[in-house]
Structure 1
Amino acid sequence: MSAQSYLSIGNVVKKFDQFTALNDISLTIEQGEFVCFLGPSGCGKTTLLRAIAGLELPTSGKIVQADKDITFLPPEQRDFGIVFQSYALFPNLTVADNISFALKEQGLSRQEVQAQLHKWLKIIDLPDSGNKYPSQLSGGQQQRVALARALVLQPGLLLLDEPLSALDAKVRTHLRSEIRRIQTELGITTIMVTHDQEEALSMADRIVVMNHGVIEQVGTPQEIYNHPASEFVARFVGSMNFIPQHHHILQSVTLPTIGQTAALRPENITLCHQQESNANIIACEFLGPIVRTTCYVDEELTLLVDLPSDHYSQLGLHIGSRVHVGFESDKIQLFMAEAA
């Protein structure tokens, strides 16, 4: 554990009867980091967050926050704020009362409460909404109030449990940058659980990819995307083409080990017009800056290819076009074939 580690999780196991939800998890998180736990449903990411919050106690292992062993402490003795997917605001209290509820419980004077409230309404960009009730706010606004309520006591750790998944796409994108702005401004150590890879890639300093109760990989968004440590990570984060080892499209590539699978990102494949065309375009999807093209190679292999939209137009491509599929061999990633 480095000198600056703020949160240290050591060999944590969590069992529910015969089911192992967390299998020997070890991880350290630095002061001020924004870390995403990313993975499919049932991978253990929410259980790990709940263990950090004291809402689930580990079967074994140790959790240390700011040099204090919190493994078995009740939630109220821990130093964190939490925001859930379902806002969880008091519907019968105004926005002001929702945010200042905890401050009043602390016995702060009326002036101090008002000063804090004014500050937080400004931070979440709702300066004139103090007298409104949650039902009068949009989902995105309610989630910002929940965020202010979680942060008003200035906890050392912010826990976010899928906070954006109930919101529509545009609001979600806006709130992503808002949460990141507030987190950076406050310098607060933050852990967010998400199953949305785009969310994790755009927000996190580091991503912890989980699967079946274990950590598959920990790294920066760039490391996770460009150098996935396993076939699972490669499949889960971004789009990836997997090419059987025997396929002749790989004849120019030396695969060092039998039993390896070759993989290529769609943006690392090129299309051009050549006499020896080896593929047909069977589908295309316009995505603004890129066109995602589905190519059928030699009547047996389907590849996704992402081309810049203007390049796609310049080549005059369309469904039914015959093209040559190419790639640079150094863009190929190799994985040991995983059991199905």
Structure 2
Amino acid sequence: MSTPDAPPETPDERTLRRWRRYLADERAEASVYRDLARRRSGEEREILSALADAESRHEQHWLDLLGDDVGKPVGVGFRSRALGWLARRLGSVFILALVQRAESRSPYADDPDATAEMAADEQIHEEVVRALAERGRNRLSGTFRAAVFGANDGLVSNLSLVLGVGASGVSTHVILLTGIAGLLAGALSMGAGEFVSVHSQRELLAASTPNPEVGEAIGRLNVNANELALVFRSRGMTEQQAQTRAARLIWGMHTETAALADGAPGRDEHEAIGTGMGAALSSFCFFASGAIVPVIPYLFGMGGLGAVALSAGLVGIALVGTGAVVGLLSGSSPWKRALRQLAIGYGAAAVTYLLGLVFGVAAG
């Protein structure tokens, strides 16, 4: 005689609270995706709407588990509220980066009440958001790279310069002039360097891009004796693939000039680099904005250890801010990046300050 199945165990209050929190988070994430979709068009809107529908599917899972115990709506966490607020007002690549990070931290893989399919969904959602954010990152990367490098170079180099000179015992007036000179020299150098660097890189990529006029020569090639296959082999194709592609082109099955560009640098690489003038202006302005921070106490007539402490403190705040922004944009931990920036900046400044003390004592 078979025994009847045991009734399902009634979840305790702690479990119910966890389910309700998951339900609230799923609703909030679905709302974020819908808010982002409203700011997009075409395929991106469809993709974001599909992600919202998927979060609603997860929402239904927790509703089924809760049943009559669903209770009153639970307030979502700060992270979800912040994402929703930003999505409604900005809808930029930074928000997609934040959403990407949120998806990567899903607890479902370790939660016995979440299904394996839900955990897998969250991993797929992370990759979808990563791909959506990629184009925005590419558009930003050239100018943003120059901006971040410029700001950090201005902060660290001018703080090091000001502290090193100040530690040697010179007057506040000399420290101020040194800081302003360092700002102007560094900003001009950074701007010019970025302009030359970006233009040089774009010229190198352009030199590697297939000549569009070459396509017109294909129709004049000797069918039985030509080197068209070598073009494709030099682009990374195997001998058989290259022979097949060349034959199809010569016999008129494919006449697009773009076919010669297989494996060559294209528009995405140029887009990721940015423009020379944009990178130069961004680098100049951000270096100057960073370099002015260590000088602020001396602009207001401060001197001595008070000026040193305030200068270092202001630079520390700025370094934390730039590090956090880079972390957010890359989808990684903003705090780790912020602390790394702070450690590097303070390390360089400490070395020059100690050297200034040594030279000051030696000169005295």
The TM-score by the shorter chain falls in which range? Answer: under 0.3
Where is the strand percentage greater, Structure 1 or Structure 2?
Answer: 1
Structure having the higher Rg: 2
Q: State the TM-score, normalized to the length of structure 2.
A: 0.24
Q: State the TM-score, normalized to the length of structure 1.
A: 0.25
Where is the helix percentage greater, Structure 1 or Structure 2?
Answer: 2
